[in-house]
Homo-oligomer: A and B are copies of this chain.
C-alpha cells in the first residue's frame, strides 16, 4: 500500500476547481486501501470552514467500468442511513474524472480509526453494521459478478500450480482437496445480495465501540449474503497469523448480525462451509501475491498460511460455536 501515482499539488488544486469543495490547503498521499493512490485533502470554504476529502486515483486492480456500480451502491446505502463515503459530484454532476492519466474520484472523508484487536463490543458493532448494510442493500438493482467466487478460486489455484509447495510442502494438494470439498458442498440456494466481500477491521472506522464508517467497497459484488458474514468472521475472529481463535468475537459478530438482520436456519447450517470458502479465498489471493511479488519488494507480503490456519480451524470447528448461541 503506497502512493503509485504522484499528482502535483497544483494539479489537485486545479482539479478541485471543478467542485464546490473549497480551495486546497493540504494534500497528503496516504498509504491505505487496495492498490489505488489516495490523497487526504483539506480545503477551506469561502466562509473559512475546513473540509476534508479523499482523492482516489484508480490503478490497475480496479476496473474503471466497475466504478458506476460502486458509486450507485454507496449512494443507495448512504440514502438508507449506512455510514459509507459518498462519491462527490462536480458542478456538472460528474463523479468520475481523469487526473494524471488515471480515473479519479473525490470522495467523502469519514473520521474514525480501524482497530487491530477488536473488543467483543467492537466486533458486535461490526456485526450490526454488516447486518444494516445487508438490510439497506435490499432493492439495489445493479449486479456485479464476484470475480473471486468458487470458479475464480479454481482459476487462481491453477495459476499458482506447483508454486504452492514453495510456500509450504503439501499446500498444492491441500488446496486441491479443499476445492473438491467446496465443489461438492457449496450451498446453491442461499439468499444472494450485494455484499461488501472484504469487511476486514481495516475497512471499518470506529470511535470507541461505535462504527463511524464502512469503507473500501472495491470488492463489493453480488453473491451469497451469508458469505459476507463468513468473510467478516474470518477477518475479525483470529489472531493475525490465524493461530488463535477468539470465540467471544465470533459470538459478538453473530449476535450483532442477528440483531440487525437475522440469519436463517439454512444460512446457519451452511455457515461453516461458507467460512471454509472465505478462508480459501484469502489463502489463494495471498498465495498468488506471495508467488508473484519479489521477496525484496518494499510491499509487505501477507502470509497465506495465516489463512490456511483459519481454514484448518473451520474444517474442524464445532459449527454451533462459530457465531455463539
Residues of chain A touching chain B, judged by Cβ–Cβ distance below 8 Å, are 1-3, 6, 8-10, 12-13, 24-32, 40, 42, 111-117, 207, 294, 296-300
Q: Which of chain B's residues has its CB closest to A9's CB? A: B113
A9 to B113: give the CA distance in the assembly, Å.
Answer: 6
The 8 Å CB contact of A298, one of B10, B12, B25, B298, is: B298
A76 to B312: give the CA distance in the assembly, Å.
Answer: 59
Q: Which residues of B contact A30 (CB under 8 A)?
A: 28-31, 40
- Known contacts A3-B31, A25-B207: does B297 contact A9 (CB below 8 Å)? no
Q: Which of chain B's residues has its CB closest to A294's CB? A: B296
Min CB distance, A210 to chain B, in Å? 11
A28 to B114: give the CA distance in the assembly, Å.
Answer: 10
Could you list 6 A-B pairs, sorted by A, with CB under 8 Å?
A: A1-B3, A3-B31, A27-B113, A28-B30, A28-B31, A42-B111
Q: Which residues of B contact A2 (CB under 8 A)?
A: 1-2, 31, 298
A297 to B117: give the CA distance in the assembly, Å.
Answer: 31
* Cross-chain contact B25 with A112 (CB below 8 angstroms): yes
Min CB distance, A122 to chain B, in Å? 10
* Cross-chain contact B298 with A9 (CB below 8 angstroms): no
Q: Which of chain B's residues has its CB closest to A37's CB? A: B31
Q: Which residues of B contact A25 (CB under 8 A)?
A: 111-113, 207
Q: Which residues of B contact A31 (CB under 8 A)?
A: 2-3, 28-31
A32 to B31: give the CA distance in the assembly, Å.
Answer: 10
Min CB distance, A150 to chain B, in Å? 31
* Cross-chain contact A116 with B298 (CB below 8 angstroms): no
Min CB distance, A295 to chain B, in Å? 10
Min CB distance, A271 to chain B, in Å? 29
* Cross-chain contact A10 with B116 (CB below 8 angstroms): yes
Q: Which residues of B contact A116 (CB under 8 A)?
A: 8-10
* Besides A1-B29, A296-B297, 10 new A-B residue pairs in contact (Cβ under 8 A), listed by A number: A8-B116, A8-B117, A9-B115, A10-B115, A13-B113, A27-B113, A28-B32, A294-B294, A297-B298, A298-B298
Q: Which of chain B's residues has its CB closest to A300's CB? A: B6
Q: Which residues of B contact A26 (CB under 8 A)?
A: 111-113
Q: Which residues of B contact A299 (CB under 8 A)?
A: 298
Q: Which residues of B contact A3 (CB under 8 A)?
A: 1, 31
A28 to B205: give the CA distance in the assembly, Å.
Answer: 12
Q: Which of chain B's residues has its CB closest to A42's CB? A: B111
Q: Which of chain B's residues has its CB closest to A119's CB? A: B10
Min CB distance, A117 to chain B, in Å? 6
Q: Which of chain B's residues has its CB closest to A113's CB? A: B9
Min CB distance, A49 to chain B, in Å? 12
Q: Which residues of B contact A32 (CB under 8 A)?
A: 28-29
Q: Which residues of B contact A13 (CB under 8 A)?
A: 113
A116 to B116: give the CA distance in the assembly, Å.
Answer: 37
A155 to B35: give the CA distance in the assembly, Å.
Answer: 39
A294 to B298: give the CA distance in the assembly, Å.
Answer: 10
Min CB distance, A53 to chain B, in Å? 13
